[in-house]
Chain A
Amino acid sequence: MDSALIPKGVRRCSIGQFALFVGVVGVVLLWGVFAMLLCWIKGLNQTNMNDYYGFALWIWADLAVIALGGGAFFTGFLRYIIGKDELKNIINYAVLIGFICYSSALLILAIDIGQPLRGWFIFWHANVHSMLTEVAFCLSCYFGVLTIEYLPLILENRQLDKVPFFHNLSHNLHEVMAVFAATGAFLSFFHQGSLGGVAGVLFGRPFAYREGIFIWPWTFFLFTWSAAACGPCFTIMITRLTEKITRKTLVKQNVVELLAKISGWMLLTYTIAKIIDTWYWAAVSAPAGGFWLMDFYSNNPLYGPWILITEVLICGALPACILITKSGRKNPFTLMIAAVLAVIGVSLNRWVMVLQVMAVPVMSFDKWVMYSPSWQEVATTILPVAYGVILIAISHRYLPIFPQERELNPIEN
């Protein structure tokens, strides 16, 4: 029925099966949309946030998807600036995943603010000293860049490509893509960093506060670094997941291995930097504010030392060691384990830098406060996942996302 839209030389499931899949995920999407409307119409009293938890699940989701979407900028940087040509076989998917992550982040932010209709104030009345201003500007601009990077992919749809103007536009965009990729890398460096700065500059919160260079706390650099390290792991993870669902090999092993190797070295150096940061913070910064390290990890039902061990060792050092060894990368199972651990690690780091910051009491007579999200918060956080699945399904069906697909899955006529 829709065969005219499907790229030539590839096999896709039947339209019925496809519609069923999209329909089921669509129900989840609608649930999220309903919750989103509730939040917009009735206000943020629909959430379990409170005056102790001004930042909660959404801000974590925001930080996490942006870190995971970091695969787009870093893969683009490696492909266009460093010249790792093999990565052209995975860059499309990295861009698509990045596009989903960033559009989700913007949507979540639009739900999260108390007065959504005033959202433009952050640009118009910008306070250039606020990390959040930097986030807003770079995030929006980089989303523009991702849209530009995704555009030629859409234009390569079999029917759209027949329109000469679209064909030429797509061709021209490819020609100058390095310029956009470089701009994207520049913007990403700053917004990934400033997201780290959001927590790091809070000198009233000794758990979050870090020293640094000029206006940038160390978390600025740690966030950029970890996004560059773990973003590609997310790209690999989703690629492998897509291959499982479509029951096809879509990207050659050597391409994935190259990305995994670079990611591994980034993750290893990041983990070392993170350990140094944690040590300096525990030994110098926190005591200067009147806190021992264990003050942050005791007297509460959730936040214990297990967090540091999980984040830094199990989800940092371990996957890094797997990814930098040849046998670790070659084995699909250990490669997948490493990618998943890295994704969990970076997500846990973002959770800690948002939620635990709010939970730790600062005044000596204050108490730990725990938080669990309302269903509206959960639904609106799952909404982008459903949206992402649908966009990937549609893009995979109708656009030539994987350049190696035809070669790896020949159709015998």
Chain B
Amino acid sequence: MKKEHSKAKKYGMVIDLDKCTGCGACMVACMAENNVPFKKDESNKLDSITWLRVFKLTNGKSFPDADTCYLPRPCMHCEGEHGHAPCVSVCPATATDYSHETGIVSQIYTRCFGCRYCMAACPYHARYFNWWDPVWPEGMEKLLNPNVSVRMRGVVEKCSFCFHRYQAAKEKAYYEGRQELEEDEYQTACTQACPAGAITFGDLNNPKHAVYELKKDKNAFRLLERLGTNPKVYYISTRKWVRQAGDNYLEGYETEGKVKKHR
């Protein structure tokens, strides 16, 4: 029993794309929860910060075969090989770290000096740079989440799987004399906000957590699996074209054996 307690956690997500309606509630919840700054004009998506971004995918066909899929993309918290995530290994100042305890890729804002090498390394565009200092509308400072530090101009930020919630849950459990967290004690803001219940969050290593079985679904896939990033966000879709959009495939090129499986 004790052995099971000491087993490292690997927090991850399974997102059912067939359930996602693209409403954007997850994005809003994420921004509110994590004090994500915004500009007056957010029309330029290339320099606005969205820790969780919903992409719109289409199958490129015309009516009546046209089909659309919305794909929420948080940070993938890549494990790479043994924690060798694309972004973690390149950060020159050790400002981003892979936790072998939780599987979460952290970002230390006060350590980051803004070289943006991690952004160049991330194929998912999950990392964002603070091009401006955050400016909150009058009175909104009081509504900020006190558990999440706001970030200054010139540093990189990204989805943390609401790590502050993990810390709070751990503190509570410790206070109550427990070592382990129940599944519902630590959930991300986006998971809870999704009205369709498309997002499931939990410990991928824990058989008691829903994600443990979901990730084994025959329709489960991850984004850019072939690159060896070994992400911890899984997607499920019964639609083949959606599953195929998760990676790049070459016709006539034998790739099956080359896909790195890290499950």
Contacts of A188-207 to chain B: CB distance below 8 A:
198, 201-206
A365 within 8 A of B: yes
Chain B contacts to A: CB under 8 angstroms: 44, 46-47, 49, 55, 57, 71, 80, 86, 89-95, 111-117, 119-125, 127-133, 152-156, 223-224, 226-229, 244-250, 253, 255, 258
Contacting residues, chain B, for A129 (C-beta < 8 A): 89
Contacting residues, chain B, for A54 (C-beta < 8 A): 116-117, 119-120, 127, 129
Contacting residues, chain A, for B92 (C-beta < 8 A): 122, 126-127, 130, 132-133, 136
Scan A1-42; emit 1 where CB is below 8 A from any B CB, else 0.
000000000000000000000000000000000000000000
Question: Are A203 and B229 interface neighbours, CB within 8 A?
Answer: yes
The interface size of chain A toward B, counting residues with CB under 8 Å, comes to 50
Residue of B nearest to A47 (CB): B131
Q: List 22 A-B contacts (CB under 8 A).
A: A44-B114, A49-B116, A113-B154, A114-B116, A114-B129, A114-B153, A116-B113, A118-B113, A119-B113, A121-B111, A126-B94, A127-B93, A132-B92, A132-B117, A133-B92, A203-B80, A205-B120, A292-B250, A362-B248, A363-B224, A365-B245, A366-B125
Contacting residues, chain B, for A51 (C-beta < 8 A): 46-47, 49, 119, 125, 127-129
In the bound assembly, the distance between CA atoms of A175 and B131 in angstroms comes to 50
A112 within 8 A of B: yes
A130-B89 contact, Cβ under 8 Å, with A204-B123, A290-B250: yes
Residue of B nearest to A209 (CB): B227
Contacting residues, chain B, for A127 (C-beta < 8 A): 89, 91-94
A288 within 8 A of B: yes
Contacting residues, chain A, for B125 (C-beta < 8 A): 51-52, 363, 366
In the bound assembly, the distance between CA atoms of A203 and B229 in angstroms comes to 8
A216 within 8 A of B: no
In the bound assembly, the distance between CA atoms of A45 and B80 in angstroms comes to 32
Question: Are B127 and A289 interface neighbours, CB within 8 A?
Answer: no
The 8 closest A-B pairs by CB, nearest first: A114-B114, A114-B154, A290-B248, A54-B116, A54-B119, A204-B123, A118-B113, A50-B46
A305 within 8 A of B: no
Scan A197-233; emit 1 where CB is below 8 A from any B CB, else 0.
0100111111000000000000000000000000000
Question: Are A289 and B46 interface neighbours, CB within 8 A?
Answer: no
Contacting residues, chain B, for A133 (C-beta < 8 A): 92
Contacting residues, chain A, for B80 (C-beta < 8 A): 203
Q: Which of A121, A130, A204, A365 has the most CB of B within 10 A?
A: A204
In the bound assembly, the distance between CA atoms of A295 and B249 in angstroms comes to 12
Tell me, rounded to whole Å, the shortest Cβ–Cβ distance linking B203 to chain A.
25
Question: Are A289 and B86 interface neighbours, CB within 8 A?
Answer: no
Tell me, rounded to whole Å, the shortest Cβ–Cβ distance linking B24 to chain A.
17
Tell me, rounded to whole Å, the shortest Cβ–Cβ distance linking B68 to chain A.
11
Contacting residues, chain B, for A144 (C-beta < 8 A): none
Tell me, rounded to whole Å, the shortest Cβ–Cβ distance linking B233 to chain A.
13
In the bound assembly, the distance between CA atoms of A358 and B119 in angstroms comes to 10
Tell me, rounded to whole Å, the shortest Cβ–Cβ distance linking A59 to chain B.
9
Question: Are A290 and B247 interface neighbours, CB within 8 A?
Answer: yes
Question: Are A43 and B113 interface neighbours, CB within 8 A?
Answer: no
Contacting residues, chain B, for A289 (C-beta < 8 A): 226-227, 248
Tell me, rounded to whole Å, the shortest Cβ–Cβ distance linking A355 to chain B.
11
Contacting residues, chain B, for A136 (C-beta < 8 A): 92
In the bound assembly, the distance between CA atoms of A253 and B101 in angstroms comes to 66
Known contacts A49-B116, A54-B129, A114-B129; 20 additional CB pairs below 8 A are A43-B131, A45-B132, A50-B44, A50-B46, A114-B155, A115-B154, A121-B113, A122-B92, A122-B93, A124-B93, A127-B91, A132-B115, A203-B228, A204-B86, A288-B258, A289-B248, A362-B123, A362-B248, A363-B123, A363-B224
In the bound assembly, the distance between CA atoms of A203 and B228 in angstroms comes to 8
A72 within 8 A of B: no
In the bound assembly, the distance between CA atoms of A164 and B61 in angstroms comes to 83
Contacts of A335-367 to chain B: CB distance below 8 A:
357-358, 362-366
Contacting residues, chain A, for B245 (C-beta < 8 A): 364-365
Question: Are A125 and B227 interface neighbours, CB within 8 A?
Answer: no
Contact for A202 among B121, B127, B133, CB less than 8 A: B121
Q: Which of A127, A131, A201, A291 has the most CB of B within 10 A?
A: A127
Contacting residues, chain B, for A50 (C-beta < 8 A): 44, 46-47, 131
Contacts of A115-155 to chain B: CB distance below 8 A:
115-116, 118-119, 121-122, 124-127, 129-133, 136
In the bound assembly, the distance between CA atoms of A136 and B115 in angstroms comes to 12
Question: Are B117 and A125 interface neighbours, CB within 8 A?
Answer: no
A369 within 8 A of B: yes
Tell me, rounded to whole Å, the shortest Cβ–Cβ distance linking A46 to chain B.
9
Residue of A nearest to B87 (CB): A204
Contacting residues, chain B, for A114 (C-beta < 8 A): 112-116, 129-130, 153-156
A287 within 8 A of B: yes
Question: Are B223 and A290 interface neighbours, CB within 8 A?
Answer: no
Residue of A nearest to B258 (CB): A288
Q: Which of A51, A203, A288, A362 has the most CB of B within 10 A?
A: A51
Tell me, rounded to whole Å, the shortest Cβ–Cβ distance linking A116 to chain B.
8
Residue of B nearest to A52 (CB): B46
A265 within 8 A of B: no
In the bound assembly, the distance between CA atoms of A49 and B125 in angstroms comes to 14
In the bound assembly, the distance between CA atoms of A295 and B250 in angstroms comes to 11
Question: Are A291 and B117 interface neighbours, CB within 8 A?
Answer: no
Contacting residues, chain A, for B86 (C-beta < 8 A): 202-204
Contacting residues, chain A, for B121 (C-beta < 8 A): 202, 204-205
A297 within 8 A of B: no
Tell me, rounded to whole Å, the shortest Cβ–Cβ distance linking A134 to chain B.
9
